[in-house]
Each structure stands twice: as structure tokens, then as C-alpha cells.
Amino acid sequence: MVALGGLRSVLALTSKTAVGVLLIALAPLMILWPFGRTHAPQVEIHDEYGVLQPAAVEDRLSDLRFRQDVTLAVVTLDADYSANFNLEVLTYARENQPQWISAEDPNYWADGLVILAVSPSGRWVGVYFGEDVKVDTATQGGIQEAGKNAFRDGDWAGGLVDMGREAALAVGKPAFARAGVVWVVGAIAGLFGTVSVWWAGLMSRGRYRRAERHYANVTRDWEETEVLARTVPENEPHGAQVLIRYSWFRGRYFDLTKKMQEISINKGADWFRFRNIGLTGSIAEEAATLDELDDTIANASALLTMSSTWREVWNNELGPVYEDAAAFESLCDQIDRKALGVSTLEQRAWLRTTVNGLGQWTADLEARRVTPSAALDHLDSVSEKIRSRAMDLSQQAISADQSASADLRKKRYKEVRKSWKKSSDPYAGTWRVGDTTGTYHPASTIRLNSSSAGLEGAGPAKGSASGFAPVAGLVTGYSTAANWSASTSSGSGGSYGGGGGGFSGAGSSSHF
């Protein structure tokens, strides 16, 4: 029993599991009714905007199953952002697909019809239903939301399939299938409680094992790391910064040793206590940081002394610069697509020259025409210039916006830019500039970045680099602001407007 964590721990785990299973078992089967969806939809694709591969989309939608026979119609339209999209869809149906209108009552959609509509140009999405398959407004909104992430990424087919999948879940579901809230809550609570208890135990043990692996690596390399640290020049700024982190590393290692000893006494059911989640998580994170930081020390020694592995280390140092350059290139692409009258030619030319110039610095390092310290200083300079130019260009582009939402977008941009400057978002470790791609390990670079191992231990040294979050964050923020509007999460709702002629068919639309 001791090996399992003691009687008390075993009984606690057993009782929690039993209660959870009982609550789940008591949930009535009717909440799952109807159990299956067996009706294949009759799919129609009307790609008026020209962004789909109709046959491929039809195949994917035909694989869906509904609870009753439906005609699943897809239409892409070129509707303005300020248009009434419901009316646009209705007008299209009246002029091109009259069978979509009910023959018995032309103020409604035909029975059995489900329409999925999108306007890539106006950033509209809508869903419409015949009276016998209609769903409530909230469910309509859920179907629209299902496709929005893909639509924002330009994946029109994927977004429509996601909407179709959500519609298949909702159409034909009877009202009493949503009854029995108390039972549902009880079942969910039981499931959540049981899963949480076991998740806590398994996650705690998994995190501890991960911490053990990292800790073992650090311990194994301890003496070698000490030797390498002595070769890092103290009078060189980048080396001095690494040595400050090394001093922090030593102190944290001894603290981690004590924590590992304390938690290692857990046995069996002891791991299934919730308090272990946070404890093992912090230990695993700390052990991983120390494991990465000893790589940083080895890298600093290799490059600053130009040992045999200097080129590999230098390529790793280039990684964050290339990743930021790729983000800057993406910003130029976005601004060009917006057609705001802001030229990116000068910025692209500068970026191309700068990136190509990094190859010359590699050659100069190899020929010993420049020192490692000077090369790292140059990377600092290039990084700062990319950031500065990205901020200037995005500001210029947002200021050039003359749309009705211009003021909102400028305000939003100011907010996201301020947030980005304080961001600690990590570098991805991958980049693509032009046709060239690469990967690197951001946590082990000598130069500080937001992903650097032991950044909190850098002390005053991190003052010059504390804002070095990825430029990708600024680009994402600009994109969000540039497409912002008061109706981003709303739209023409369920109204067809005066042009609808009293049409009352179920459906609604919104912006994405």
C-alpha cells in the first residue's frame, strides 16, 4: 500500500473516480437522441466569385450526414462590405435559383433547403434555411462562426465545409433533445471531475519525468558547462551578458536540485493531487530553461572563441533576424494587397540588400576580417532597423486608410502596437525569406530575444533587448487593425431590408 501512495491517497482517488462515473452513468440516454445522422445532402455549388474548386467542395460536403433530407446549397458572391448581404443572397436566388424560393409561399425559403453563403470581397458570411429545417438565431450565429477562422485565412472551401459540418449537427435536432439540463450538468460535472482527477495525476507524473530528463542533461553536462563558461570573454558585451545568465543558472540549479528531491518522494496515488499540477509544471519549466541555457553558454564559447562549431552557432544567431525579415516581407505583401497607395518598393529593396548582406558577414567571419563581437553587434543593428522600418511602414499604411472605419482602425492599431511593444511572445524558430527557408533554436541564441533561456536572469543586460519580441506580432496586430470595423462581429442579422419585399425566410449573416 505504501508503494501506491498510502491508504489515504488510494481511498481519495477511488472515491473521486467512483462519484464521477456514477454521475455520468445516471445521465439519461435521451439527451443523446437522435443517435445518428444518416441522410446525405444533395449538394449544389454556385461559385459566382470564383474562389472554389466546385467538385472538391461538393465531394467534401457530400460526406456530411444530416438527420433528414436536405439540399445543401453553397454560393459565393461579390457583395460590398456595406451591402445588405441577406438581400444580396435573396436577389441572387430570385434571379438565378428560383427553386430556392418556396412555391407555396414566396416569402420563405423552400423546404429542405440550407444555404451557405460567403462574400470574400465584402467579408460576409450567411446561412439560410427552409421552414422545415430552420434553426434559432443563436444556432445560425454558431454556424457562421464555425467558418470564420478559415475565411480569415483565405481558406474559402475549408470555411464552407466547417459551416456545413456545424449545420449538420444542428438541423433537425428536436427541442426535447436539449432538455434535462440538470442531468446534463450532472453528467458533465461527473465527467469533468473524473477526467480532472486522472488528468492531474497523469499530467503531474509526465511533467516530473520531463523535468527529470532535463535535470539529468544539466547534471551530466555540469562540468563541461563550467569549463566552457571560463572560455567566454568577460570584457566582451555579449559574453558578459551570457555570463550574467550563467551566474543565475548556477543558483537556479541548486534550487532545482532541492525541489526535485522533495517531489521525488511521491508514490502512486500521491500524484493525483491537484496541488502537484502547478508544482511539477514549474519544476519542468525551470529544468527545461536550465537545459537550454547550458546550450547558450556552449554557443557563446564556440562563437566568441571561433572554435570548430562557430558556423553552426552563427547560423542560429541569424535565425531571429531572418524570422523578423520574413515578417517584414509579409507586412509589405499585406499593404500591397490593401491598395492604399503606400509604396513598399523602397522597403523591399532595403530588405533584400540587407538580407543578402548577411551572407557577406558570414564570409567575413570565416576569413577573420571581422570579430564575432562586431558580427553580433551588426545583427543587433539589423534587428533594430527591421523593427523600426516595420513600425514606420505599418503606421504609414494605417494612416493612409480613408475608409469609413479609418478612425476605428487607427485607434485599434495604436492599441495593438502598444501591446506588442510590451509583448513576450516567443519566436517560432522557423523563417521563409523569398524562396529560402530555415529553422533554428531561439532559446539558445547568444543575443537576447523574447524566447531566450534565462532571460529573467539577464539583469541589467536585458535592458537593451527587453522589447525584442518578434516582428510577426506587429504584423498580426496591423492586420487585425487594418480590417477592424464596428460591425466585425455583427452584420445585417436576419433582415432583408426594404428590397426584400416582405420576405421572411429564416437566416442571417455577419462579417468575419
- Kindly report the CATH number assigned to the domain that includes residue 141: 3.10.310.50
**pLDDT attached to residue 494:** 58
4 vs 44 pLDDT, higher one:
44
With a pLDDT cut of 70, the percent of the chain lying above it is 79
**pLDDT attached to residue 462:** 53
In angstroms, the CA 61 to CA 109 distance is 21
**pTM for this prediction:** 0.58
Strand residue runs (E) in 67-143: 71-76, 113-119, 124-129
My answer on whether 333 and 447 are in the same domain is yes
In a domain, 290, yes or no: yes
Indicate the pLDDT class of residue 222, thresholds 50, 70 and 90.
confident
In a domain, 28, yes or no: no
Residue 442 buriedness (CB in 10 A; 0-12 / 13-18 / 19+)? buried
177-221 tens-digit pLDDT: 444 444 455 555 555 555 565 566 567 777 778 888 888 888 888
**pLDDT attached to residue 108:** 93
**pLDDT attached to residue 280:** 74
My answer on whether 220 and 273 are in the same domain is yes
Helix (H) or strand (E) holding 289: helix 275-304
Q: Is the peptide bond before 34 cis (omega within 30 degrees of 0)?
A: yes
3-state helix, strand and coil shares in percent for the chain, rounded to the nearest 5: 60, 10, 30
My answer on whether 351 and 465 are in the same domain is yes
My answer on whether 287 and 335 are in the same domain is no
My answer on whether 204 and 123 are in the same domain is no
Residue 430: strand pairing partners = 439
My answer on whether 104 and 243 are in the same domain is no
52-100 tens-digit pLDDT: 899 999 999 999 999 889 999 999 999 888 889 999 999 999 999 999 9
**pLDDT attached to residue 20:** 47
User: 340 is in which domain, residue-wise?
Assistant: 310-482
113-142 tens-digit pLDDT: 999 999 998 899 999 999 999 999 889 999
**pLDDT attached to residue 445:** 96
**pLDDT attached to residue 430:** 94
CB 303 within 8 A of CB 377: no
How many other CB atoms are there within 10 angstroms of residue 282's CB atom?
14
Strand residue runs (E) in 28-177: 42-47, 71-76, 113-119, 124-129
Domain boundary residue, one of 240, 275, 304: 304
My answer on whether 250 and 377 are in the same domain is no
Coil, helix or strand for 360?
Answer: helix
DSSP state of 101: B
My answer on whether 168 and 285 are in the same domain is no
Domain count, the chain: 3
Nearest to 417 by CA among 393, 399, 391, 396: 391
Indicate the pLDDT class of residue 3, thresholds 50, 70 and 90.
very low
In a domain, 156, yes or no: yes
Domain boundary residue, one of 125, 148, 173: 173
Residue 480 buriedness (CB in 10 A; 0-12 / 13-18 / 19+)? middle
In a domain, 113, yes or no: yes
Alpha helices in 372-470 (DSSP H): 372-399, 406-421
In angstroms, the CA 134 to CA 140 distance is 9
Find cell 529560402 and name the residue.
436
Indicate the pLDDT class of residue 491, thresholds 50, 70 and 90.
very low
Domain boundary residue, one of 304, 323, 348: 304
CB 47 within 8 A of CB 73: no
Residue 42: strand pairing partners = 71
209 vs 149 pLDDT, higher one:
149
Q: How far is CA 511 from CA 89, 92, 122, in A?
A: 14, 19, 8
Mean pLDDT, rounded, for 432-451? 92
My answer on whether 168 and 190 are in the same domain is no
* Largest interatomic CA distance in the chain: 88
Please name the residues in contact with 497: beta carbons below 8 A apart, sequence gap of 6 or more. Answer: 84, 86, 87
**pLDDT attached to residue 483:** 84
Mean pLDDT, rounded, for 487-502? 56
pLDDT at 238 over 60: yes
In angstroms, the CA 153 to CA 155 distance is 6
Q: What is the DSSP string of 177-217?
A: GG--HHHHHHHHHHHHHHHHHHHHHHHHHHHHHHHHHHHHH
Rg value, the chain, Cα: 30
Q: What do you get for the CA distance between the two ends of the chain, in Å?
A: 58
Please name the residues in contact with 290: beta carbons below 8 A apart, sequence gap of 6 or more. Answer: 214, 215, 218, 249, 252, 253, 256, 453, 454
Cell of 251: 543558483
My answer on whether 372 and 458 are in the same domain is yes
371-424 tens-digit pLDDT: 999 999 999 999 999 999 999 999 999 999 998 889 999 999 999 999 898 888
My answer on whether 322 and 447 are in the same domain is yes
In angstroms, the CA 292 to CA 210 distance is 14
Q: What is the mean pLDDT of the chain?
A: 83
Residue 85 buriedness (CB in 10 A; 0-12 / 13-18 / 19+)? buried
In a domain, 273, yes or no: yes
In a domain, 498, yes or no: no
My answer on whether 154 and 50 are in the same domain is yes
- Residue 264 belongs to domain with CATH number: 1.20.140
Residue 186: strand pairing partners = none
Angle 119-475-355 (CA atoms, 0-180°, nearest 5)? 125
**pLDDT attached to residue 429:** 94
Please name the residues in contact with 282: beta carbons below 8 A apart, sequence gap of 6 or more. Answer: none
Indicate the pLDDT class of residue 164, thresholds 50, 70 and 90.
very high
